[in-house]
Amino acid sequence: MESYPLYLIKNKFISEILEALHIKADEFVYNLGQHNPYEIILYTWIHKLYGKGKSVDEAIQLIYKARNILFLNSKL
């Protein structure tokens, strides 16, 4: 079995989640670098879910739920 470096596995995890959320990776990274709150929150969630060993599908479902709660509780 081929062994991949951990950073490639994590990058694939992040990429698949961003794709499922219809977010372009280059825009996400740019906005993250600009300290946009949404991207920071999303990156934090992704990082924590990866650390907990969640699958991509589990992470996507949890992010959808968390995002809905965040949006429903935010003041417009």
Per-residue pLDDT tens digits for 33-64? 999 999 999 999 999 999 999 999 999 999 99
Confidence of residue 1 (pLDDT cuts 50, 70, 90): very low
Question: For residue 74, what pLDDT is reported?
Answer: 74
Question: For residue 51, what pLDDT is reported?
Answer: 96
Q: What is the pTM of this model?
A: 0.83
Question: For residue 17, what pLDDT is reported?
Answer: 98
Backbone Cα Rg of the chain: 13
Long-range contacts of 8-12 (CB under 8 A, 24+ apart): 10/50
Question: For residue 8, what pLDDT is reported?
Answer: 82
Q: Is the dihedral of CA 13, 16, 22, 27 positive or negative?
A: positive
Integer angstrom CA distances of residue 11 from 5, 62, 72: 10, 19, 30
Q: How far apart are CA 63 and CA 16, in angstroms?
A: 13
